[in-house]
Structure 1
Amino acid sequence: MIKETFIKERHTKEEVLSADFVIVGGGLSGTCAAITAARAGISVILIQDRPVLGGNASSEVRLWVLGATSHMGNNNRWAREGGVIDEILVENTFRNPEGNTVLLDTIILEKVVSEPNIRLLLNTSVYEVSKHDGDRIREVKGFCSQNSTTYIVRSSWFCDASGDGILAFLSGAAFRMGAEAEAEFGEKFAPTKDYGELLGHTIYFYSKDTGRPVKFVPPSYALSDITEIPRYKSFKADDSGCKLWWIEYGGRLDTVHQTEVIKWELWKVVYGVWNYIKNSGSFPEAGNLTLEWVGNIPGKRESRRFEGEYILRQQDIIEQRTFDDAVAFGGWSIDLHPADGIFSEKPGCNQWHSKGIYQIPFRCYYSKNIPNLFFAGRIISASHVAFGSTRVMGTGAHGGQAVGMAAALAVKHNWSQSDLTSTQNIRLLQQTLLKTGHHIPGLRFSDSDNLVNHAKISASSELILRELPFDGPWIDLVFSSGQMLPAAPGKLPSVTFMVNAKEATTLDVELRVSSNPGNHTPDTLIEKRTINLLEGEQPLLLDFSYEVDQHRCVFLCLMKNANVSVKSSSQLVPGILTVFNKVNRAVSNYGKQSPPEDIGVEEFEFWCPNRRPQGQNFGLTMERALELFSANNVNNGIFRPTISPNAWVAAKHDQHPKLTIEWSSIQTISEIIIAFDTDYDHPMESSLMGHPEAVMPYCVNHYNICDDQGRVVHEVKDNHQTINKISFKTPLSTAKLVIRAYHPSENVQASIFEVVIS
């Protein structure tokens, strides 16, 4: 029993903690920063002011995670972010293909608590910062309401991933809030005052069919006149979750200090909308529906943005500018919303895409004022226009990983911020990130300590692609369709498709490439022909005289003709896709991007794959085989398809595929990293949508590794992850390693992107 007499003053319990790296904010950006740093060997304290991790992706808000893949609705192929965020999304798809955010909560939490180097403080709000040695942060104070404890947390390095930037704000770091005028950075898409300078917040809701009639009596604060919402007729009875992203409000207010005001207005709207659906008589299908869940906190889009050594801007995204200190990438559209949100007469969003993914420099991820402060997430150093793209969670998490690795290197080498930014050390940061599966467009992994560099690499077989069998369904050309093929320098081989014409007709065919060889936007017409077709099935030979100038993708385009269908193939091959000039309204893709004049955005067409269970390639035969799947690809430094497959792929007839890595002398091996194909083109939205497969069809599920004596030193029978890292407690001594990779299925051959051995 505890019994205390009256005293004039009491204080909460205090606990003093310290770590190499302290992160404030447990959304995906902060979480991925924490995991990355902890795995790199430093101690981390992760402070989160909510009871769960994941931020806007968590069960508290329930927004799906997206980034450069953009719902597969743009021309960014194989653009899902790599590293820890990829690991989380792949695991979530495996355990939770239905998209239950409660299960996502458990996956993210498991990843964090499984790292012994991380101390997690949930329900802890930072409210005070102390500095020393000028403007260096010394410690932060946070209060946990659940255990009535004040934490004093000290470190030499800090990261603000809090969304509103509470740590950076209290430290005095320079920030911006609102939109820059066009004149400041020359951004032609800079919004007008009429459009507004801030994006608002959103609260979602879910409904459930109970199987019997359910009444609804709205609370007194519900919006009584739904016609106040200009787009009220757009509501549907079965809409739920983040499909209602456009229930947005607050862009005319202070999105930090007036969040509670905004929340109440959003509750007013949500319950008014539900009252309209249930009681207006316009939705008889809603009779058995009940309101299952309404968010208690809003999902925030925009508040403060903090200034780094460089401020990313519109031109960097649209022109895909490159940076020597690139550590991450983006690819979501420049996605700005009217400040009046749901009460605006304007469309709910204004999305403009670039032709490909773009680099983000390291200078955007640290404060120009506070020498030991990093940024991650939506508060990084970007203009309001550029923020319209960088703000999404996949991009934010990817940048968080770069920050986590930078902090780990700084701690290990006792570097200052200026040390980190030296050319040599940026190179080390980039290479250390790439080794984890983190992708930086335009860069290759290259490590002199990688034993594969000094080995002979061979395989039991290599795919020599002469055909994709004509064994799939017929695909009608109701949209213009293109077979995207990787090509090497030299004469483009002729390709034969099988088509079926309902009647005698003509078919326009085009050979296209991308004006930027690193992109997958077929914006450059090389040659166009019109071919006469007879009624019925017949081969279609395409023999263009094009000389491929460098490794790039070519597009063999069969233009729209509803009287013609093309025979598809069941075979899936890394780096090869069929794309369609069709519509994806979710990302403002209407087949062609046609921006207004003089907003600094390019006009081009969208050619995107279908999602599985569709998504078949066209069946085809080639005059000359594609020989781009050699065993040596496992040491080319690229862990995914880009403009080339970048993978060793075994031949279909090889029933026991083997990759052999052999040295002239005995090697001592402590670690092996293998990168498998989990289909980087699939967005893996974390909630609501659902996915047809728990394991990506390209992924090698079963493999083993043998030494030079034929002994199995490691075996996995249920792999679904991209990066497999094998560590040996007792180093392995061998002159040879043999990786036996079993075919994932009859229609997908075994493949490996990269092998790193140390």
Structure 2
Amino acid sequence: MIVETFNKEKRNSKTVELVCDLGITGGGTAGVCAAITAARKGTKVVLIQDRPVLGGNASSEVRLWILGATSHMGNNNRWSREGGVIDEILVENLYRNPEGNAVIFDTVLLEKVLNEENITLLLNTSVYDVTKSGDTKIESLKAFNPQNSTEYIVKAPLFCDASGDGIVAFKAGASFRMGAEPKEEFGELFAPDKSYGELLGHSMYFYSKNTDKPVKFKAPEFALKDIKQIPRYKAIGKDDKGCRFWWFEYGGRHDTIHDTEHIKYELWKVIYGVWDYIKNSGEFDDVDNMTLEWVGTIPGKRESRRFEGLYMMTQQDVINQQQFDDVIAHGGWAIDLHPADGVYSKLSACTQWHSKGVYQIPYRSFVSKDIDNLFLAGRIISATHVAFGSTRVMATTGLCAQAVGMAAALCTEKGMNPADILKNRSIETLQNELNIVGQSIPNIPINSKSNLISEAAMEVSSELEISEIPFDGDWFRLNISAAQLLPFKANQNYNFQLLVKADEATELEIQLRTSEKSKNYTPELILEKQTFSLNEGEQHINVEFLKGTPNNQYAFVSFLSNDKVSLKTSDKRYSGILSVFNGVNKAVSNNGKQVPPTDIGVDEFEFWTPHRRPDGKNIAMKIYPAIQSFGSDNIGNGYVRPWGEVNAWVADLNDKNPSLKVEWDEVKKVSEIKLFLDPDYDHPMESTLMGHPEEVVPFCMRNYKIKDLDGNMLHSVEGNYQTINVFKPEKPLNLKGFIVEAEHPSEDVPAAIFEILCQ
């Protein structure tokens, strides 16, 4: 029993002081990825999250799917899904939660964080103040948890603000912006004017479900009465739910920080008014048994403060794919701006303009220009309002925050401040450390000096050569134009034989296309075109292209639409090979071709995008000379995904026991062997709502063994589904070499390894 008598002095809350290497505020995708990355390098991290769950907008409290450069497979960014920790999380979620249950995704994130012994997690804890030891240095954070009535003081030499609204950076006095820059400041032609609005609003969603008996609904008094106040109300579907209602947006003309509660009430008004419309208007059939299962209680925020770093990204950096010496990540979501009036606007709910490929993001945008020991992460990084329209999405923020976590680990190890990484070539160390854990920084491979494989001889049981993509699939009708994307050798002429079927005599145009930039996948350059006269029925056609690609790069063997013609497809799938289609993806403003106004600084080009499995089969064909891009020389080149070329060793499907032998001239001390496998970087893996056709992507090698050169078992794996597999023996091994004995993932998909890293 506790009894306390009256105390005329003010009582103080219980106070806990925590000392760490890195204090991170914000447990969304950015904060989580930064924390895990730093912790795995031995950095002591305190991760502070003001909500009861991790994930931010991806959590069960908001339920927005995680997306990034893949953009719902609606753009030309091939094999662009973000790597490293964010890939590990999404692949894990795919395996456990292919149906996209947001509650299950909460557990995936929580487990990943709790598994790291170097992370102290504070949920339900809000940072409300900072203390400074000087004008430009933060000493500690002050936070309070109302659940356990405890105040926390977190002291560290380094801090990261991934809070969304930038509470730490704001309290510390760092320079920030809210709203859109005028066109004149950075020459951004897409910068909006005040009539369109200078801020993106908040969104809230709802879930509904069918029951086995009628359910009535009486709208609360505050619900929207006149559905026609929503100009897009006819777009409302009774079966839509969750973040398919991303356009339930409001607040862009308000202070998106201090007016959040007002914005929330307005969004509740919209949601309950929409549900009243669905249930009681008589405009919808079969809604009697439907009930409202869940409504968000906190709004998902898009935009508030953006803080000024050592560099501010602009529209031109995104659209022109600007190269940076200090690149640490890539982006690829469209420049996606929304009218400030949101759900009440008569304008299109969003305006998305895509670049022709992924773009680089520089480290300097994550370093506060004012506070010496502060990193920026998440949506608050140093970017203009227009560039922010692309960098703000969660897979991108998670990828970028991994760089912050790794940079913090380097700073901790060497006693540096964030800006010091830009000196003495430390940025190269950061880039390489990131790539070693799967970051896949564009144009920067893993440094061969950090990989013992670069000193080894390689011998494989077989190498895939594609002389034929077998004719064992269905027929695909050319209602839309289609293309087979293949890696060509520079200046090599290729011949193709295809099986087509015509409903009647007609013509088929076939084109050879490629990209102007060798690492892009936008086929704006037509190298050659041929027209074939077809007879009714099935027939083979032979295509000989007299021109090759100017570089080792992907080419598009393209078949222009003709709904009287069908192409034979194949059931075989290969790493680094896919088919694409000049179709439509309304989810990302893809109408088959991007046709922007002439005065907004955005390119016009066609979209050629894959179809989701089980569709999107390769086009069957014989190829001469054979595609020879899958050799063992790809192992050790430092790339862990397709980037202009396949970059993978792929075994021949007829090889029943594929193997790869690594041998050195002398015995090496090996402390770790890391395999980089194929998680299908083209598949977006939306974290919630959208289901996926499989728990494990078909290209991922499930079973393999690692043996020494005498055949002794070193490591065996069965049922793998993750991208990066690490064998780390208790003590370093003295090896003259080793053998990887692989199994094909299936009879239709050969075994593939992008990279092996030995240290």
- Report if TM-score (shorter chain) is over 0.5: yes
| CA distance in 2: counterparts of 1:694 and 1:28, whole angstroms | 22
Does 1:307 pair with 2:308? yes
* 1:675 counterpart = 2:685: no
Identify the residue that residue 500 of structure 2 maps to in structure 1.
Answer: 499
**Inter-partner Cα distance in structure 1 for 2:230 and 2:741:** 60
Equivalent residue number for residue 239 of structure 2:
238
Contact 1:431–1:447 at 8 Å: present in 2 too?
no
Match of 1:538 in 2: 539
Q: Does 1:138 align with 2:142?
A: no
Aligned 8 A contact 2:211 2:289 in 1: yes
Instruction: Specify the alignment match of 1:115 in structure 2.
Output: 116
Partner deviation per Cα, 1:157-192 (whole Å, 9 max, x = no partner): 000000000010000000000000000000000001
Aligned partner letter, 1:113: L
Letter in 2 for 1:516: K
The CA distance in 2 between the partners of 1:317 and 1:496, in whole Å, is 39
Residue number in structure 2 paired with 1:550: 551
- For 1:194 and 1:134, the matched residues in 2 are separated by 39
**1:378-411 Cα deviation digits (max 9, x unpaired):** 0000000000000000000000000000000011
SS at the partner of 1:635? coil
| Aligned mates of 2:465, 2:21 — CA distance in 1 | 50
| Conservation of the 8 A alpha-carbon contact between 1:80 and 1:681 | yes
2 CA distance for matches of 1:526 and 1:119?
57
SS at match of 1:701: coil
In structure 2, what is the equivalent of residue 397 of structure 1?
398
Match of 1:7 in 2: 7
Distance 2:419 2:217 in 1: 61
Contact 1:630 1:649 in 2 (8 A): yes
Counterpart residue identity of residue 3, structure 2 = K
**Aligned counterpart, 1:511:** 512
Q: Which residue of 1 aligns with 2:282?
A: 281
User: What per-residue deviation string (whole Å, max 9, x for no partner) do you get for residues 409-462 of structure 1?
Assistant: 011011233421126100000000000011211111114132111111111111
Matched to 2:437, the amino acid is T
Give the secondary structure class of the aligned counterpart of 2:557.
Answer: strand
4+ residue stretches of structure 1 with deviation over 4 A? Answer: none
Greater mean deviation of Cα atoms: 664-673 or 678-687 = 664-673
Matches within 5 A, 1:447-486: 447-486=448-487
| Structure 2 match to 1:190 | 191
- 1:212-247 C-alpha deviation (Å, 9 max, x unpaired): 111001111111111111111211110100000000
Residue 617 of structure 1 corresponds to 618
Q: How does 1:301-340 map to 2 (within 5 A)?
A: 301-340=302-341
Displacement of 1:70 in angstroms is 0.2
**SS of the counterpart of 2:91?**
helix
Amino acid at match of 2:415: N
- Report deviation, 1:547: 3.1
Deviation sequence 1:247-299 (CA, Å, 0-9, x none): 00000000000000000000011001101111111112211100000000000
1:79-100 CA-partner distances (Å, limit 9, x unpaired): 0000000000000000000000
Contact 2:408 2:418 in 1 (8 A): no
From the superposition, tell whether residues 363 and 709 of structure 1 become closer, same or farther in structure 2 (CA, over 3 Å): same
2:228, 2:91 → 1: CA distance?
Answer: 42
* Corresponding residue number in structure 1 for 2:356: 355
Distance across 2 between alignment mates of 1:85 and 1:576:
24
Q: Which residue of 2 aligns with 1:50?
A: 51
Q: Give yes or no for contact 2:407–2:418 (8 Å, CA) kept in 1.
A: no
Q: Give the deviation of 1:349 after TM superposition.
A: 0.3
Long gaps (5+) in structure 1: none
1:608 aligns with 2:593: no
One-letter amino acid of the counterpart of residue 685, structure 2: M
5+ long unaligned stretches in structure 2 = none
Question: Counterpart of 2:245 in structure 1: which amino acid?
Answer: L
* Partner SS state of residue 286, structure 2: helix
**Could you tell which deviates more after superposition, 214-223 or 533-542?**
533-542
SS of alignment partner, residue 420 of structure 1: helix
Q: Is the partner of 1:448 in helix, strand or coil?
A: helix
Are residues 1:16 and 2:17 paired? Answer: yes
2:654 maps to 1:653: yes
Q: Deviations over 1:554-592 (max 9, x none)?
A: 111110100100000111111111110000000000000
Partner amino acid, structure 1, of 2:407? A
**Residues matched between the structures, number:** 758
For 1:583-732, what aligned pairs fall within 5 Å after superposition? 583-732=584-733
SS in 1 for 2:706: strand
In the TM superposition, what are the counterparts of 1:97-246 in structure 2 within 5 Å?
97-246=98-247
1:543 is aligned with what amino acid? E
Give distance in 1, aligned partners of 2:735 and 2:520: 41
Distance in structure 2 (CA, Å) of the matches to 1:333 and 1:752:
31
Are the counterparts in 2 of residues 21 and 155 from structure 1 also a CA contact under 8 Å?
A: yes
User: Counterpart in 2 of 1:91?
Assistant: 92
Amino acid at match of 1:290: T
Corresponding letter in the other structure for 1:2: I
> What is the RMSD computed on CA atoms of the aligned residues?
0.8
1:126-170 superposed Cα distances (whole Å, 9 cap, x missing partner): 011011143111000000011000000000000000000001000
CA distance in 1, matches of 2:89, 2:184: 41
Q: What does 1:257-272 align with in structure 2 at a 5 Å threshold?
A: 257-272=258-273
Distance 1:47 1:259 in 2: 21
Q: Using the alignment, how far apart are the partners of 1:235 and 1:449 within structure 2?
A: 54
SS at match of 1:184: helix
2:632 maps to a residue whose letter is A
Distance in 1 between residues matched to 2:43 and 2:607, nearest whole Å = 44
- Taking the aligned partners of 1:126 and 1:318, their CA distance within structure 2 comes to 36
Q: Contact 1:458/1:632 (CA < 8 Å) preserved in 2?
A: no
Match of 2:528 in 1: 527
TM-score by length of 1: 0.99
| 1:384 counterpart residue number | 385
1:569 is paired with a residue whose SS is coil
Identity of aligned residues (%): 56
Tell me, yes or no, if the aligned pair for 1:161 and 1:375 is still in contact at 8 Å: yes
User: Is the contact made by 2:375 and 2:418 (CA closer than 8 Å) also made in structure 1?
Assistant: no
CA distance in 2, matches of 1:535, 1:287: 51
| Structure 1: distance between partners of 2:547 and 2:576 | 21
Q: Does the aligned pair in 1 maintain the 2:468–2:622 contact within 8 Å?
A: yes
3-state SS in 2 of match to 1:17:
strand
Shift of 1:709: 2.2
Secondary structure, aligned partner of 1:266: helix
Corresponding residue SS for 2:449: coil
Instruction: Return the alpha-carbon distance in structure 2 between the equivalents of residues 417 and 85 of structure 1.
Output: 22
Q: TM-score, length-normalised on structure 2?
A: 0.99
CA contact (8 A) 1:337 1:350 kept: yes
User: In structure 2, what is the equivalent of residue 76 of structure 1?
Assistant: 77
Report if the CA contact (8 A) 1:659-1:740 is conserved.
yes
Aligned partner of 1:241: which letter? G
Q: Distance in 1 between matches of 2:562 and 2:449?
A: 53
1:443 partner SS: coil
In the alignment, the residues of structure 2 paired with residue 455 and residue 527 of structure 1 have an alpha-carbon distance, to the nearest angstrom, of 42
**Range with greater deviation from structure 2 (530-539 or 198-207):** 530-539
